[in-house]
Amino acid sequence: MKNAKRLLALAAAGLMAVGMLAGCGGSSSSGASAEGASSDELVWVIGCSGPLTGDAAAYGNDVVHGAELAAKEINEAGGINGYQIKYIYGDDEHDTEKAINAYNTMKDDGMQIFLGCTTTAPTVAVAAETLNDNMFQLTPSGSALDCIANDNCFAVCFNDPQQGAKSAEYISTHFPDAVIATIYDSSTAYSAGIEATFEAEAANLGLKVVSTEAFTGDTKTDLSAQIQKAKDAGADLVFLPIYYDTAATILTQANNMGYAPAFFGCDGMDGILGVENFDTSLAEGLMLLTPFAADATDDLTVNFVKNFQEAYGKIPNQFGADAYDGMYAIKAALEDAKITPEASVSDICEALKTSMFNITIEGLTGTVTWKADAENLGEPDKTPKAVRIENGAYVSIED
């Protein structure tokens, strides 16, 4: 027993020594560097992070890959201000503590600009660090208001209150007489955030909400009780401010119960047509607000989806699109600021903080500018597209 402990202690000492050495050298590389960037050349080091393992891995992988694709394209086209991008990424496991670890590791690798995180809570945690370091942060998909509370933080995606309010508005103009039930995930900030504003806005607009049922991450495999309550309350429109995987469960279970109301979702619903073993015919008529539709026919989207599929073997969802746009936004802002990678992290941040308001991105998620007023500082200004699923494809519903 003693010896075993001794061995362990030795192993620990060894590991710590290795850790310190790695730290002192500052040479541990955290991610795949994009082609054409060698270590002695001056490059832009842009870091990205998201959950690459665990429950939320689908989102993190799309973000990391979307940004990587954009970085590759930019490098092939000559880089930013003549300098190549060295793209690095880290795994935050959808956890605040790990997100900070990933961020610190990337800082050791010389990160100058941070394009992350993917999910909300880690983004808020890292935002405190970027504020300390005065590093520019652009989150592709962290959607709570707290994510961009600091003036060095910007977002590519809509925030949760915006989505809740937009959904309520949309429903009240198009379905003023609907009897509405809401089913949401109280254990995610995303879903709870949308639900809270939706409820408030629905009350303002005089919508008839008859039932609001919550589930949590632990209970998301069986939602028949919540669906039954919506059915019993006589709802003919069910609002689902949740992610697509659980929405697929709800649609399947509602169908089994012979309940066929109209379903309405937000941007997290995007991706539902790609769920394995899901009968996509059940999604017919489903409406959602989304900034990105993978089967849109504009050149940009078609190319992005094609390249993404070639490189990573899957159809990207809006997370990948947000990250892709985010990388191009950084490019545009750096070009606007006319700076080079020689500048310090803090100088780059200060330059980008003003340049972000000068740029307009024609991206996958629409035409995006950033709001400069104090109330919405760092918010993207873009219009969500309302789409309906018809014959297994998105069809936009115009007002």
Partner 1 sequence: MGRIKTYFSTMDRTSRDDFITYGGLLVVFIVMQGLLSAGMLSNQMRGLLVPLCVYAIMAIALNLVVGTLGELSIGHAGFMCVGAFSSAFFSKINPDMPDLPRFIIAIIIGGVVAGIFGFLIGIPVLRLNGDYLAIVTLAFGEIIKNIINALYVGVDEKGYHFSLSSVNDMGMDPLNGNIIINGPQGVTGTPRSATFAISMVVLFISLIVILNLTHSRDGRAIMAVRDNYIAAESVGINITRYKLTAFTISAVISGFAGALYAHNLATLVATPARFGYNMSIMFLVFVVLGGIGSTRGAIVASVVLTLIPELLRPIQSYRMLIYAIVLIVIMLVNWSPKSRAFMETHSLKRFLFKKGGKEDK
Minimum distance between the CB of residue 12 and partner 1, rounded to whole angstroms? 5
311 binds partner 1 (CB under 8 A): no
220-226: long-range contacts, CB 8 A cutoff, minimum separation 24? 220/185, 220/246, 220/249, 221/249, 222/253, 223/183, 223/249, 223/250, 223/253, 224/253, 224/257, 226/183, 226/250
107 binds partner 1 (CB under 8 A): yes
Q: Are 328 and 70 in contact (CB under 8 A)?
A: yes
Using the contact rule CB under 8 A, the part of the chain among 116-124, 172-180, 309-317, 326-334 near partner 1 is: 116-124
Which 140-179 residues touch partner 1, going by CB under 8 A? 144, 146
3-class secondary structure, 264: strand
Minimum distance between the CB of residue 121 and partner 1, rounded to whole angstroms? 5
Minimum distance between the CB of residue 348 and partner 1, rounded to whole angstroms? 17
Q: How far is CA 74 from CA 23, 139, 265, 327, 361, in A?
A: 31, 19, 34, 9, 14
Please select the residue that binds partner 1; options are 35, 41, 76, 128, rule is CB under 8 A: 128
Minimum distance between the CB of residue 166 and partner 1, rounded to whole angstroms? 18
Residue at token pair 């066929």:
260
Q: Are 242 and 265 in contact (CB under 8 A)?
A: yes
What is the Cα–Cα distance from 383 to 270, expressed in whole angstroms?
16
127 binds partner 1 (CB under 8 A): yes
120 binds partner 1 (CB under 8 A): yes
Looking at the Cβ atoms of 161 and 341, the one nearer to partner 1 is: 161
x/- string (CB under 8 A) for partner 1, residues 4-43? xxxxxx-xx--xx-xxx-xxx-x-xxxxx-----------
86 binds partner 1 (CB under 8 A): no
Please select the residue that binds partner 1; options are 39, 41, 42, 54, rule is CB under 8 A: 54
Minimum distance between the CB of residue 74 and partner 1, rounded to whole angstroms? 22
In sequence order, which ranges of the chain are alpha helices (DSSP H)? Answer: 2-25, 57-76, 96-108, 120-133, 160-174, 189-205, 224-232, 244-256, 299-312, 318-337, 345-355
Looking at the Cβ atoms of 27 and 367, the one nearer to partner 1 is: 27
Minimum distance between the CB of residue 302 and partner 1, rounded to whole angstroms? 29
112: its two tokens: 């100058």
Which 196-235 residues touch partner 1, going by CB under 8 A? 196, 199-200, 216-218
Q: Are 358 and 351 in contact (CB under 8 A)?
A: no
SS3 string, 99-112, reads HHHHHHHHHHCCCC
What is the Cα–Cα distance from 137 to 13, expressed in whole angstroms?
36
Please select the residue that binds partner 1; options are 34, 46, 102, 207, rule is CB under 8 A: 102
Q: Are 289 and 166 in contact (CB under 8 A)?
A: yes
The binding site for partner 1 (CB under 8 A) comprises 1-9, 11-12, 15-16, 18-20, 22-24, 26, 28-32, 52-55, 90-91, 93-97, 100-105, 107-108, 120-121, 124-125, 127-129, 144, 146, 186-189, 192-193, 195-196, 199-200, 216-218
